[in-house]
A and B are shown apart, each in its own frame.
Chain A
Amino acid sequence: MKETPQELRVRKRMLPGAITLNGFIGKDKRSLNTIIAADEQELEALGFSPEDIADRMQYFTDASFSTFDGFIVIDGIYKVETEVVRGKLPCPYAHGGLYRKAVTKITNTEKNISLSWTSLNIHLIKDHHFFEGKGSMYRLEPSILVKALY
């Protein structure tokens, strides 16, 4: 799929060293639209929307964020902790707004699945349906997210 000049600008901001050290694309050669479309399709087949997933992620992040330090157990299944470091990051889509440098780690102890996401991941999924490119440090596979979060 051919990328528009706007998409090319976004892709440039997603490259390593622009906003984060490792970027958001990984080794994925596909266009942003192709990556997004494939993940949307996968998620739809599982009966979820990106907004559903992002809201669920935000719920866990907010719950763990309220603690002083360390993890909390939610619903007896989810072991969740969020670590915040100094600073904020802009979205590569450059629409303004800043996102905390916070990493949430979750373990679904029933299914033995562990995942990590950032505050920016939640925004990228909710507002741009972007789960990051394959091989990216914070790439989230839709099917694994569904398994871990529900």
Chain B
Amino acid sequence: MIFVILKDIAILSAISTILALVMVLAQRWLSNYGTCKIDINGKRDVSVIGGSSLLSSLSEKQIFLPSACGGRGSCAACKCKVLSGGGPVLPTERPLLSKEELSAGNIRLACQVKVKSDISIEIPSSIFNIRRYHATIAEIIDYTYDIKGITFKFDDGEKIDFLAGQYVQLETEPYPEMKQRVVRAYSISSKPEINDALQLIIRYVPDGICTTWVHKYLKVGDKVSLTGPYGDFYLRETDADIIFVAGGSGKAPIKSILEHLQIVGTTRKMTYFFGARTVRDLYLTDEFKALEDVFPDFKYEPVLSQPDPNDNWSGKTGFVMPYFKETIRDPKNTEAYLCGSPGMINAVTKALMENGLAKEKIYYDSFG
């Protein structure tokens, strides 16, 4: 009896072992896509080991498509044109593609497309400027009760080339409440003329994975990684008057633009409306007011929507929109740069257009 049981166990074990071996071999040989070629814009190609996502395959070759979700197929920031070799659009991509993109058939999420054969893609040439940087935290400044300015000094003489107004993606390190890394986008707040370091302005968001790490755990001397630069929010080189509107951490790209203009010089008429609720939400006010003496025609206008009576606030109050009329001298020759929530962007865009600004001259970096 025992012999029969042992024999059955031996047979079952042998079958299991053979099946496991078959699976390992199948994995090795059937899923082995070998070396695949990624043709980029018909101008350059890179060779990668097949089987990984297009996003990570490109990343291995130091080509960084934007991605805010770490390749989990939820942010849709890694959209690119796949001309051939990407296979059909996957169910995981469909909800994140517009009707136009679906009908075009070649707009894909790079994080979902597997590289299994030679593949041909089209990406903006600006992507080639995006790199991964390793940095050390050089300074952390508390600007307000919930906003910090963090300076990242690049390691090993690395330098970044960006346009004032662009953003980078910061990668978190694991911390007690969070074991995995996440990636989040933040506008650069320092000027591009400083290329061996950069500053980000980050507001604490309750329940926010990255901002909790930044505000509660990050300290001077810590090592971090970031990629960039990304984005098409940057100063257009014209002679048009400028209206800036941004509150909270939305001040970051405007600070970068103004600091850049301070270096290169400008005679453009510029007005910056900084919307906040109370005096405790204001920061860098003296520094921005001081720019009124630097530029020939610049005005910094903090506007409080809910000033506390104890603040003794004597500046502008309410929303920023009613002040546009007295500020705009020639709507046909005025540009606007906005950074903040979609509600703010919509309300300000509407008001600017009512004051005669052309929609195509209103540039924005929306949080939503």
* Interface: A98 (CB within 8 A): yes
Within 8 A of A (CB), among B191-206: 203, 205-206
* Interface: A45 (CB within 8 A): no
A22 touches B207 (CB 8 A): yes
Residues of A within 8 A of B74 (CB): 88-90, 98
A17 touches B367 (CB 8 A): no
Given known pairs A83-B341, A102-B368, the reply for A20 and B207 (CB within 8 Å) is yes
* Minimal beta-carbon separation of A146 from chain B (angstroms): 25
Interface residue count on the B side (C-beta < 8 Å): 43
A82 to chain B: closest residue by CB: B343
Given known pairs A21-B178, A69-B247, A69-B275, the reply for A98 and B75 (CB within 8 Å) is yes
Residues 278-310 of chain B, each 1 if its beta carbon lies under 8 Å from chain A, else 0:
000000000000000000000000000110000
A85 touches B208 (CB 8 A): yes
The listed residue with most A CB atoms (<10 A of its CB), out of B75, B179, B207, B342, is B207
A17 touches B177 (CB 8 A): yes
A17 touches B178 (CB 8 A): yes
* Minimal beta-carbon separation of B307 from chain A (angstroms): 11
Number of A-B contacts (CB under 8 A): 92
Given known pairs A70-B277, A85-B367, A102-B368, the reply for A90 and B69 (CB within 8 Å) is yes
User: In the complex, A69 Cα to B203 Cα: how many Å?
Assistant: 17
Within 8 A of A (CB), among B342-367: 342-344, 346-348, 367
Candidates A68, A86, A138; contact of B275 at CB < 8 Å = A68
* Minimal beta-carbon separation of B208 from chain A (angstroms): 7
A118 to chain B: closest residue by CB: B207
Residues of B within 8 A of A85 (CB): 203, 205, 208, 341, 367
Question: Is the interface on chain A under 10, 10 to 19, 20 to 34, or 35 or more residues?
Answer: 20 to 34
Q: Which of B78-86, B91-99, B221-229 contacts A (4 or more CB under 8 A)?
A: B91-99
* Minimal beta-carbon separation of A34 from chain B (angstroms): 24
A68 touches B347 (CB 8 A): yes
Given known pairs A17-B178, A66-B343, A101-B205, the reply for A95 and B368 (CB within 8 Å) is no
Candidates B95, B205, B206, B249; contact of A97 at CB < 8 Å = B95
B347 touches A67 (CB 8 A): yes
Within 8 A of B (CB), among A79-124: 82-90, 95-98, 100-102
Cβ-closest 5 pairs across A and B: A96-B95, A90-B74, A84-B341, A86-B367, A68-B347
With A84-B343, A86-B184 given, can you name 13 additional A-B contacts, CB distance below 8 Å? Answer: A17-B180, A20-B209, A21-B207, A21-B208, A65-B342, A65-B343, A70-B305, A87-B184, A87-B185, A87-B367, A89-B74, A96-B73, A101-B205
Listed by A's residue number, 20 A-B pairs whose Cβ atoms lie within 8 Å are A17-B177, A17-B178, A20-B209, A21-B177, A22-B207, A65-B342, A66-B343, A66-B347, A68-B344, A69-B344, A84-B342, A85-B341, A86-B186, A87-B184, A87-B367, A90-B72, A95-B95, A101-B205, A101-B367, A137-B207
